Amino acid sequence: MELLKQKITEQGVIVSDQVLKLDGLLNHQVDPKLTMEMGKEFAKRFGDAGVTRVVTVESSGIAVAFATAYELGVPLLFARRKKTLLAEPDMLCERVPSFTKGIVTDILVSREFISENDRVLFIDDIIANGDAARGLIKIISRAGAELVGAGIVVEKCFQSGARAIRDQGIRLESLVRIASLDGGQITFAD
C-alpha cells in the first residue's frame, strides 16, 4: 500500500534499529480513512477465504481489525489482556511476552465467541518476533476453529516472527514490509 508507506515515512519515528514508533497512525492516534483503506485491502486479499470471524489482540490491532471485519461483514473479536471481574473462569488463555512492554502478559478469549465452526482471520498492527501471533494462533486452535490466515499492517522482515508463521504453513499477508531501520532510515522491502 503506497499511501501507508508514505504515512510511515512521514510519521514514523525510529527509536532504535529494532523499533519504529507509529503512534501517529497505529499505536496511539488512528487515521480513520487510512484504517478503512487497510480494512478494504485485507478484505480483498482474504475475501474468498470464507472468513466467519476476525480476531485481534487489544489494543493496537482493534481499529484495523474492525475495518477488516466491517468490510467482510463478520464480527470482530479482540483478545483481552486483563482478566476483569466479569471474566468467565474457563476463558482460553495464553501467556505471551510483550515486545514493547518487556513483560509477559496473558491474552484471554471467551469460549462463548469462538468455536469449531469458525474460520478465523487474525489481524494485527505490527509483527516483530511473532509472540502475540503465536499466542493467538494457539487460542484459535484450542477453540477448534480454523485459521485461514494472518493480516499484518507492518511486517518487520529483519525479525523472525513473520517467517516463523509462514514456515508453519500459515498464509500471512502484510501491507508494508520493512527490511531495516539501520542508519536511522526506514528501508522498505518492496
Binding site for ligand 5GP (CB under 6 A): 19-22, 27, 60, 99-100, 124-133, 161
Query: Kind of pairing, strands 119-127 and 146-156?
Result: parallel
Q: How far is the CB of 116 from ligand 5GP (least distance, A)?
A: 26
Q: Cα–Cα distance between 69 and 43 in angstroms, integer? A: 8
Q: Which of these, 132, 181, 135, 168, lies nearest to 152 by C-alpha position?
A: 132
Residues forming beta bridges with residue 171, ordered by sequence position: none
Q: How far is the CB of 19 from ligand 5GP (least distance, A)?
A: 4
Name the residue nearer to ligand 5GP (CB basis): 42 or 99.
99
Q: How far is the CB of 175 from ligand 5GP (least distance, A)?
A: 14
Name the residue nearer to ligand 5GP (CB basis): 30 or 111.
30
Q: How far is the CB of 85 from ligand 5GP (least distance, A)?
A: 26
Name the residue nearer to ligand 5GP (CB basis): 115 or 163.
163
Provide the residue type at 102 as one letter. Answer: G
Place of cell 468455536: 115
* CA atoms lying within 13 Å on the CB side of residue 69: 22
